[in-house]
């Protein structure tokens, strides 16, 4: 592969050429921004991945249909916070469809070229009058510099907006990828309770864009967990409008496709880690690494069990190097596992290996856990080449307080 250079740039969701954004307070929240709009000129290729929860919100139903009707093309994405528009029956579907209609009219574009997403309280009816007015106002305020406000408008219990962008320099030219996400609770792989939006000015056919998005989602947004809960509204969209003049070929085994994947991985990995870092009540970002599994799938299963374990996560919060909990959780995950050859590390410190406990090393491990970024590693001892990585966080009393009071 020819050398590809990835450089962080400012601008978030509008860093790429041809994108504008806006954000308004339309009254869904008691105060603050609660509706965001992202628009591409020209019409862009589009792809999306959605929640695997069988309880599906109205905007997910509508947006899936939109991508099918448009053959993977879009001009705009409308996002509201505070109200998930989930479990709202036919009224919810009508409200979601109205978001599409209002945006299409205000932008003078085809209705099938509008995608939508919602986040917030499940079961709450979407106030269509407020949303319709908000969409019209948002169209009037579209600007490339409104990227941070857009990231703020989609927040629920997030403590800060999350945006990131990179410039990808290749021998064939330079293109940009930008993104923004929200998510702080109900975060679990497949996907998290998260909304994610990505833009690029590379030209990419919808089929290859969809393939790249799924590849990257599986190793970033599907590799995070905060509390083991998935949502009704999880969505990640990507738009590619071709304004850079760089065209990604319709085959995977090319330098440009690999450059696209590298750029997407850089943006999505950063955003995924920030979701976990900003998790409800979180004080630590933890990387869980599993090696020596019989397959990557088994490694992923073990990593997910460890990353979701309340016992492991509370030990993280207490800065307790309780390696036994990691072994116990790996053992109950149901994957191939040889306890006699298992090795557990916290940071770079080995605490258990070849059935031997290294108690004298716990002080070093505890010192590592005192940091705000920590690493937990286990080799399952099967001799296999399966590996996996997940990001998680600790469980604190603050997580309980936030979710006990979520609707009040």
Catalytic residues: 193
How far is residue 375 CA from its own chain's centroid? 20
Q: For residue 98, count other CB atoms closer than 10 A to its CB.
A: 17
CA distances from 61 to 92, 234, 337 (A): 10, 11, 41
14 in Cβ contact with 149 (< 8 Å): no
CA distance 380 to 292: 5
**Which residue's entry shows tokens 């940009």?**
176
Residue ranges of alpha helices (H) inside 108-232 are 128-140, 147-153, 206-219
Give SS3 for 378: strand
Contact 208, 258 (CB under 8 A): no
169's CB contacts (< 8 A; 6+ apart) are 4, 5, 6, 7
Return the SS3 of 335.
Answer: coil
Rounded to the nearest 10 degrees, how much is the dihedral formed by the CA atoms of 288, 289, 293, 295? Answer: 90
Distance CA 85, CA 95 (A): 8
**Torsion, CA 53, CA 54, CA 55, CA 57, rounded to 10:** 70
């Amino acid at each position: 592969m020819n050398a590809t250079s990835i450089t962080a740039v400012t601008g978030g969701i509008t860093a790429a050429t041809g994108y504008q954004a806006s954000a308004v307070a339309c009254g869904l929240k008691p105060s603050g921004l609660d509706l965001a709009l992202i628009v591409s000129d020209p019409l862009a290729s589009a792809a999306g991945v959605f929640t695997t929860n069988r309880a599906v919100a109205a905007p997910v139903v509508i947006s899936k249909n939109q991508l099918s009707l448009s053959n993977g093309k879009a001009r705009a994405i409308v996002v509201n916070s505070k109200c998930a528009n989930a479990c709202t029956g036919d009224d919810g579907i009508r409200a979601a469809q109205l978001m599409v209609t209002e945006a299409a009219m205000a932008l003078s574009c085809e209705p099938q070229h509008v995608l939508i997403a919602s986040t917030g309280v499940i079961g709450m009816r979407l106030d269509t009058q407020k949303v319709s007015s908000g969409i019209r106002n948002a169209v009037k305020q579209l600007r490339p510099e409104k990227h941070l406000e857009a990231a703020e408008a989609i927040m629920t219990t997030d403590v800060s907006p999350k945006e990131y962008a990179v410039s990808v320099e290749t021998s064939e030219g330079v293109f940009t990828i930008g993104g923004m996400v929200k998510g702080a609770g109900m975060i679990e792989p497949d996907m998290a309770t998260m909304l994610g939006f990505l833009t690029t000015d590379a030209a990419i056919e919808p089929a290859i864009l969809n393939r790249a998005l799924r590849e990257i989602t599986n190793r970033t947004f599907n590799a995070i967990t905060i509390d083991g809960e998935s949502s009704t509204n999880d969505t990640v969209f990507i738009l590619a409008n071709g304004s850079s003049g760089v065209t990604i070929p319709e085959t995977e085994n090319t330098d440009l496709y690999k450059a696209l994947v590298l750029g997407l991985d850089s943006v999505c990995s950063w955003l995924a880690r920030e979701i976990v870092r900003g998790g409800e009540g979180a004080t630590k970002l933890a990387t869980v690494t599993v090696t020596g599994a019989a397959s990557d799938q088994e490694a992923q299963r073990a990593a997910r069990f460890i990353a979701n374990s309340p016992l492991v996560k509370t030990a993280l919060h207490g800065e307790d190097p309780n390696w036994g909990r990691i072994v116990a959780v790996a053992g109950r995950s149901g994957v191939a596992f040889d306890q006699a050859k298992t090795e557990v590390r916290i940071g770079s410190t080995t605490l258990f290996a070849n059935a031997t406990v290294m108690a004298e090393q716990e002080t070093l491990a505890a010192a590592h856990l005192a940091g705000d970024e920590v690493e937990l590693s286990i080799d399952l001892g099967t001799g296999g080449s399966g590996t996996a990585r997940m990001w998680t966080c600790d469980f604190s009393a603050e997580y309980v307080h936030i979710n006990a009071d979520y609707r009040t």
